[in-house]
Amino acid sequence: MAATRTAARRAAERGSDRPHGRRRPARGAFALQVLGELLLTVGAIVVLFVVWQLWWTNVEADARQGAVVREFAQEIQAPAQPPATPAPTPPDYGPAPVPEGFANGDVIGVMYIPRFGENYTRPVLEGVGRDVLDTLGLGHYPMTTLPGAPGNFALAGHRQTHGAVLDNIDQLQPGDRIYLQTRDAYYTYVFRNSEIVLPTATDILLPVPHAANATPTESLLTLTTCHPRYGNQQRFIAYSVLDSWQPASAGPPAEIAARVAAAMGGS
Amino acid sequence: MYAWIFRHLPGPLWVRILTSALLIGGALVLLFQYLFPWINELTNVSSNTIGLILL
Protein backbone atom coordinates (compact mmCIF):
# COMPACT_ATOMS: atom_id res chain seq x y z
CA MET A 1 0.00 0.00 0.00
CA ALA A 2 2.79 2.44 1.06
CA ALA A 3 4.89 1.41 -1.94
CA THR A 4 2.03 2.11 -4.31
CA ARG A 5 1.50 5.54 -2.80
CA THR A 6 5.21 6.38 -3.21
CA ALA A 7 5.13 5.24 -6.81
CA ALA A 8 2.03 7.31 -7.41
CA ARG A 9 3.69 10.38 -5.86
CA ARG A 10 6.81 9.84 -7.97
CA ALA A 11 4.65 9.64 -11.07
CA ALA A 12 2.86 12.83 -10.06
CA GLU A 13 6.20 14.61 -9.48
CA ARG A 14 7.51 13.49 -12.79
CA GLY A 15 4.35 14.84 -14.34
CA SER A 16 4.74 18.17 -12.58
CA ASP A 17 8.38 18.45 -13.79
CA ARG A 18 7.12 18.53 -17.32
CA PRO A 19 3.83 20.31 -17.13
CA HIS A 20 3.21 19.85 -20.85
CA GLY A 21 4.61 16.34 -21.08
CA ARG A 22 7.06 15.42 -23.79
CA ARG A 23 4.82 15.97 -26.75
CA ARG A 24 6.38 14.77 -29.95
CA PRO A 25 6.71 17.94 -32.08
CA ALA A 26 5.17 18.00 -35.50
CA ARG A 27 7.41 16.84 -38.30
CA GLY A 28 7.44 20.29 -39.90
CA ALA A 29 8.47 21.96 -36.66
CA PHE A 30 11.35 19.52 -36.27
CA ALA A 31 12.56 20.17 -39.82
CA LEU A 32 12.39 23.90 -39.14
CA GLN A 33 14.45 23.45 -35.98
CA VAL A 34 17.11 21.49 -37.85
CA LEU A 35 17.22 24.15 -40.56
CA GLY A 36 17.60 26.86 -37.94
CA GLU A 37 20.43 25.04 -36.23
CA LEU A 38 22.21 24.47 -39.55
CA LEU A 39 21.92 28.18 -40.39
CA LEU A 40 23.32 29.09 -36.98
CA THR A 41 26.16 26.66 -37.64
CA VAL A 42 26.95 28.28 -40.99
CA GLY A 43 27.03 31.66 -39.26
CA ALA A 44 29.42 30.35 -36.63
CA ILE A 45 31.67 28.90 -39.36
CA VAL A 46 31.84 32.27 -41.13
CA VAL A 47 32.89 33.94 -37.88
CA LEU A 48 35.43 31.17 -37.29
CA PHE A 49 36.88 31.75 -40.78
CA VAL A 50 37.63 35.35 -39.84
CA VAL A 51 39.18 34.16 -36.57
CA TRP A 52 41.29 31.71 -38.57
CA GLN A 53 42.47 34.37 -41.00
CA LEU A 54 43.25 37.14 -38.55
CA TRP A 55 44.59 35.04 -35.69
CA TRP A 56 45.46 31.46 -36.49
CA THR A 57 47.31 32.10 -39.78
CA ASN A 58 49.54 34.51 -37.85
CA VAL A 59 50.20 31.97 -35.11
CA GLU A 60 51.15 29.37 -37.72
CA ALA A 61 53.24 31.73 -39.86
CA ASP A 62 55.13 33.17 -36.86
CA ALA A 63 56.15 29.67 -35.82
CA ARG A 64 57.22 28.67 -39.34
CA GLN A 65 59.12 31.91 -39.93
CA GLY A 66 60.93 31.57 -36.62
CA ALA A 67 61.98 28.07 -37.66
CA VAL A 68 63.23 29.36 -41.04
CA VAL A 69 65.34 32.03 -39.32
CA ARG A 70 66.80 29.40 -36.95
CA GLU A 71 67.67 27.13 -39.88
CA PHE A 72 69.35 30.04 -41.63
CA ALA A 73 71.29 30.82 -38.44
CA GLN A 74 72.55 27.27 -38.26
CA GLU A 75 73.66 27.43 -41.86
CA ILE A 76 75.80 30.55 -41.54
CA GLN A 77 78.73 31.29 -39.28
CA ALA A 78 77.94 32.91 -35.95
CA PRO A 79 77.97 36.63 -36.65
CA ALA A 80 81.18 38.43 -35.90
CA GLN A 81 80.97 41.09 -33.22
CA PRO A 82 81.12 44.61 -34.60
CA PRO A 83 84.26 46.48 -33.49
CA ALA A 84 83.74 48.22 -30.15
CA THR A 85 84.88 51.54 -31.54
CA PRO A 86 83.70 51.93 -35.12
CA ALA A 87 86.21 53.33 -37.55
CA PRO A 88 85.78 57.11 -37.95
CA THR A 89 85.14 56.70 -41.65
CA PRO A 90 83.38 53.50 -42.63
CA PRO A 91 85.67 51.40 -44.82
CA ASP A 92 84.75 51.16 -48.48
CA TYR A 93 84.20 47.57 -49.43
CA GLY A 94 83.70 48.28 -53.12
CA PRO A 95 80.66 47.25 -55.13
CA ALA A 96 78.09 45.20 -53.25
CA PRO A 97 78.06 41.45 -53.91
CA VAL A 98 75.00 40.01 -55.62
CA PRO A 99 73.89 36.60 -54.35
CA GLU A 100 72.52 34.31 -56.99
CA GLY A 101 71.24 30.86 -57.76
CA PHE A 102 67.99 30.80 -55.78
CA ALA A 103 65.19 28.39 -56.62
CA ASN A 104 61.62 28.87 -55.47
CA GLY A 105 61.47 28.61 -51.67
CA ASP A 106 65.21 29.09 -51.05
CA VAL A 107 66.17 31.43 -48.22
CA ILE A 108 67.85 34.59 -49.52
CA GLY A 109 68.40 36.14 -46.11
CA VAL A 110 66.85 37.71 -43.04
CA MET A 111 65.35 41.18 -42.90
CA TYR A 112 65.52 43.52 -39.90
CA ILE A 113 63.32 46.63 -39.83
CA PRO A 114 63.78 48.49 -36.52
CA ARG A 115 60.76 50.71 -37.23
CA PHE A 116 58.55 47.63 -37.13
CA GLY A 117 59.61 46.77 -33.60
CA GLU A 118 62.48 45.59 -31.45
CA ASN A 119 62.24 42.00 -32.53
CA TYR A 120 61.26 42.35 -36.16
CA THR A 121 63.19 39.54 -37.83
CA ARG A 122 61.66 37.97 -40.93
CA PRO A 123 63.05 35.56 -43.51
CA VAL A 124 63.26 36.57 -47.17
CA LEU A 125 62.73 33.77 -49.68
CA GLU A 126 62.64 33.33 -53.41
CA GLY A 127 59.19 33.31 -55.00
CA VAL A 128 55.81 34.96 -54.48
CA GLY A 129 53.57 31.90 -54.57
CA ARG A 130 51.28 30.97 -51.71
CA ASP A 131 53.77 28.32 -50.60
CA VAL A 132 56.25 31.08 -49.76
CA LEU A 133 54.07 34.01 -48.73
CA ASP A 134 51.43 32.17 -46.73
CA THR A 135 53.76 30.70 -44.18
CA LEU A 136 57.44 31.39 -44.79
CA GLY A 137 57.81 35.15 -44.92
CA LEU A 138 58.70 37.85 -47.42
CA GLY A 139 58.87 36.62 -51.01
CA HIS A 140 61.14 37.92 -53.78
CA TYR A 141 59.53 38.53 -57.17
CA PRO A 142 61.72 36.20 -59.26
CA MET A 143 61.71 38.50 -62.30
CA THR A 144 63.30 41.35 -60.33
CA THR A 145 66.98 41.75 -59.48
CA LEU A 146 68.68 40.41 -56.37
CA PRO A 147 70.14 42.65 -53.62
CA GLY A 148 73.28 44.57 -54.46
CA ALA A 149 72.70 44.79 -58.20
CA PRO A 150 71.45 48.02 -59.78
CA GLY A 151 67.72 47.74 -60.30
CA ASN A 152 64.76 46.77 -58.21
CA PHE A 153 64.90 44.08 -55.54
CA ALA A 154 61.15 43.66 -55.00
CA LEU A 155 59.52 41.74 -52.15
CA ALA A 156 55.92 40.89 -51.29
CA GLY A 157 54.48 40.22 -47.85
CA HIS A 158 51.12 39.89 -46.13
CA ARG A 159 49.59 42.87 -44.35
CA GLN A 160 47.11 41.32 -41.92
CA THR A 161 47.24 37.57 -42.20
CA HIS A 162 49.83 34.80 -42.45
CA GLY A 163 52.36 36.49 -40.18
CA ALA A 164 51.37 40.07 -41.06
CA VAL A 165 54.98 40.70 -42.04
CA LEU A 166 54.32 44.17 -43.48
CA ASP A 167 51.46 45.33 -41.25
CA ASN A 168 53.25 48.51 -40.18
CA ILE A 169 54.47 49.48 -43.63
CA ASP A 170 52.65 52.82 -43.42
CA GLN A 171 54.67 53.68 -40.28
CA LEU A 172 57.97 53.91 -42.19
CA GLN A 173 59.52 57.39 -42.12
CA PRO A 174 61.92 58.63 -44.82
CA GLY A 175 65.42 57.87 -43.58
CA ASP A 176 64.42 54.71 -41.70
CA ARG A 177 66.94 51.92 -42.15
CA ILE A 178 66.05 48.48 -43.41
CA TYR A 179 68.70 45.79 -43.07
CA LEU A 180 69.05 42.61 -45.08
CA GLN A 181 71.43 39.91 -43.86
CA THR A 182 72.47 37.38 -46.48
CA ARG A 183 74.98 34.55 -46.19
CA ASP A 184 77.83 36.85 -47.22
CA ALA A 185 76.90 40.39 -46.33
CA TYR A 186 74.72 42.98 -44.60
CA TYR A 187 72.90 45.42 -46.87
CA THR A 188 71.64 48.68 -45.41
CA TYR A 189 68.73 50.29 -47.22
CA VAL A 190 67.23 53.70 -46.44
CA PHE A 191 63.49 54.19 -46.87
CA ARG A 192 62.74 56.92 -49.40
CA ASN A 193 59.04 57.09 -50.27
CA SER A 194 55.88 55.13 -50.69
CA GLU A 195 52.83 55.08 -52.92
CA ILE A 196 49.51 53.33 -53.20
CA VAL A 197 48.70 51.68 -56.53
CA LEU A 198 46.25 49.26 -58.05
CA PRO A 199 47.12 45.55 -58.03
CA THR A 200 47.59 45.73 -61.80
CA ALA A 201 50.41 48.32 -61.63
CA THR A 202 53.19 45.98 -62.67
CA ASP A 203 55.44 48.87 -63.68
CA ILE A 204 56.44 49.39 -60.06
CA LEU A 205 58.49 46.22 -60.47
CA LEU A 206 60.57 47.64 -63.34
CA PRO A 207 64.29 48.22 -62.69
CA VAL A 208 63.39 51.91 -62.45
CA PRO A 209 59.77 51.95 -61.20
CA HIS A 210 57.30 53.50 -63.66
CA ALA A 211 60.08 54.11 -66.22
CA ALA A 212 60.20 51.49 -68.93
CA ASN A 213 63.51 51.16 -70.76
CA ALA A 214 65.36 53.33 -68.24
CA THR A 215 68.79 52.18 -67.11
CA PRO A 216 68.92 51.76 -63.32
CA THR A 217 71.66 53.54 -61.43
CA GLU A 218 70.43 52.80 -57.89
CA SER A 219 69.84 49.56 -56.04
CA LEU A 220 66.24 49.72 -54.84
CA LEU A 221 64.43 47.61 -52.30
CA THR A 222 60.70 47.64 -53.03
CA LEU A 223 58.25 46.24 -50.49
CA THR A 224 54.71 45.49 -51.69
CA THR A 225 51.71 44.57 -49.58
CA CYS A 226 47.94 44.86 -49.32
CA HIS A 227 46.17 48.15 -48.88
CA PRO A 228 44.02 49.11 -47.08
CA ARG A 229 44.43 47.05 -43.91
CA TYR A 230 41.90 44.24 -43.90
CA GLY A 231 41.40 44.98 -47.60
CA ASN A 232 42.65 43.83 -50.93
CA GLN A 233 41.69 46.57 -53.37
CA GLN A 234 45.05 48.33 -53.59
CA ARG A 235 48.74 47.76 -52.96
CA PHE A 236 51.02 49.73 -50.66
CA ILE A 237 54.48 50.14 -52.18
CA ALA A 238 57.51 51.27 -50.15
CA TYR A 239 60.78 52.17 -51.90
CA SER A 240 64.16 52.13 -50.19
CA VAL A 241 67.61 52.77 -51.62
CA LEU A 242 70.76 50.74 -50.94
CA ASP A 243 72.91 52.98 -48.79
CA SER A 244 75.86 50.77 -47.88
CA TRP A 245 76.91 47.19 -47.33
CA GLN A 246 79.48 45.32 -45.30
CA PRO A 247 80.74 41.77 -45.49
CA ALA A 248 79.50 39.26 -42.94
CA SER A 249 83.04 39.11 -41.53
CA ALA A 250 82.77 42.78 -40.50
CA GLY A 251 79.84 41.95 -38.23
CA PRO A 252 76.34 43.40 -38.29
CA PRO A 253 75.68 47.14 -38.40
CA ALA A 254 75.62 48.61 -34.88
CA GLU A 255 71.88 49.39 -34.92
CA ILE A 256 70.90 45.75 -35.32
CA ALA A 257 73.88 44.05 -33.66
CA ALA A 258 71.89 42.97 -30.59
CA ARG A 259 68.98 41.80 -32.70
CA VAL A 260 71.20 39.77 -35.02
CA ALA A 261 72.91 38.18 -32.03
CA ALA A 262 69.53 37.25 -30.56
CA ALA A 263 68.24 35.87 -33.85
CA MET A 264 71.41 33.98 -34.76
CA GLY A 265 72.77 33.12 -31.32
CA GLY A 266 69.96 30.79 -30.36
CA SER A 267 71.44 27.99 -32.41
CA MET B 1 19.38 18.43 -34.17
CA TYR B 2 22.16 19.04 -31.68
CA ALA B 3 19.81 18.16 -28.81
CA TRP B 4 18.94 14.94 -30.65
CA ILE B 5 22.63 14.09 -31.08
CA PHE B 6 23.29 14.85 -27.40
CA ARG B 7 20.42 12.61 -26.30
CA HIS B 8 21.74 9.75 -28.43
CA LEU B 9 25.31 9.90 -27.16
CA PRO B 10 26.12 6.90 -24.96
CA GLY B 11 27.07 7.02 -21.31
CA PRO B 12 26.21 9.15 -18.29
CA LEU B 13 25.91 12.91 -18.48
CA TRP B 14 29.56 13.73 -17.84
CA VAL B 15 30.70 11.26 -20.52
CA ARG B 16 28.29 12.83 -22.98
CA ILE B 17 29.55 16.33 -22.14
CA LEU B 18 33.12 15.10 -22.67
CA THR B 19 32.19 13.42 -25.97
CA SER B 20 30.49 16.62 -27.14
CA ALA B 21 33.58 18.66 -26.31
CA LEU B 22 35.74 16.21 -28.27
CA LEU B 23 33.37 16.32 -31.26
CA ILE B 24 33.37 20.14 -31.26
CA GLY B 25 37.17 20.15 -30.97
CA GLY B 26 37.46 17.71 -33.86
CA ALA B 27 35.20 19.88 -35.98
CA LEU B 28 37.38 22.92 -35.21
CA VAL B 29 40.54 21.05 -36.23
CA LEU B 30 38.94 20.01 -39.52
CA LEU B 31 37.86 23.59 -40.19
CA PHE B 32 41.22 25.21 -39.31
CA GLN B 33 43.47 22.65 -40.97
CA TYR B 34 41.55 21.74 -44.10
CA LEU B 35 38.40 23.72 -44.90
CA PHE B 36 39.65 27.25 -44.24
CA PRO B 37 42.99 26.92 -46.11
CA TRP B 38 41.02 25.48 -49.02
CA ILE B 39 38.51 28.35 -49.02
CA ASN B 40 41.41 30.78 -48.76
CA GLU B 41 42.99 29.37 -51.90
CA LEU B 42 39.71 29.60 -53.77
CA THR B 43 38.90 33.17 -52.85
CA ASN B 44 42.22 35.00 -53.23
CA VAL B 45 40.97 37.25 -50.45
CA SER B 46 44.40 37.80 -48.91
CA SER B 47 46.54 38.04 -52.02
CA ASN B 48 49.08 40.81 -51.77
CA THR B 49 51.20 40.71 -54.89
CA ILE B 50 51.43 42.90 -57.93
CA GLY B 51 50.36 41.76 -61.35
CA LEU B 52 50.18 38.09 -60.45
CA ILE B 53 47.17 35.85 -60.34
CA LEU B 54 47.67 33.38 -57.56
CA LEU B 55 45.94 30.09 -58.19
Instruction: Check CB contact under 8 Å for B51 and A37.
Output: no
For the question of whether the overall pTM of this predicted structure is more than 0.80, the answer is no
**For residue B36, is it within any domain?**
yes
| Alpha carbons A197 and A200: distance in angstroms, whole number | 8
Asked whether residue B55 is assigned to any structural domain, the reply reads: no
The answer to whether B1 contacts A34, with C-beta atoms less than 8 Å apart, is yes
For A44, which residue in chain B has the nearest alpha carbon?
Answer: B28
Number of structural domains chain B divides into: 1
φ, ψ dihedrals at A16, nearest 5°: -75, -25
| Residue B54, in any domain of the structure | no
Q: Does B49 reside within a domain?
A: no
User: Residue B50 is nearest to which of A130, A158, A224, comparing CB atoms?
Assistant: A224
B11 part of a folded domain: yes
Is residue B47 in a domain? Answer: no
H-assigned helices in chain A: 2-17, 27-51, 57-75, 130-133, 257-265
Domain containing B31 equals 2-42
Query: Does B51 map to a domain?
Result: no
- Domains in chain A with CATH codes: 56-265 (2.40.260.10)
> Does the predicted interface ipTM exceed a cut of 0.90?
no
Cα distances (angstroms) measured from residue B39 to each of A49, A54, A146, A149:
9, 14, 33, 39
- Could you list the pLDDT tens digit for every one of the 267 residues in chain A? 455 555 555 555 554 455 555 666 678 888 899 999 999 999 999 999 989 988 888 888 888 888 888 888 888 866 556 666 666 566 778 888 899 889 888 999 999 999 998 888 999 999 988 888 888 889 999 989 999 999 999 999 988 888 888 888 889 999 999 999 998 899 999 999 999 998 888 888 899 998 888 888 999 999 998 888 887 788 899 999 999 998 888 888 888 888 888 887 754
Angle, helix A257-265 to helix A57-75, in steps of 10 degrees = 90
Any chain A CB within 8 A of the CB of B14? no
B10 within a domain of the structure (yes/no): yes
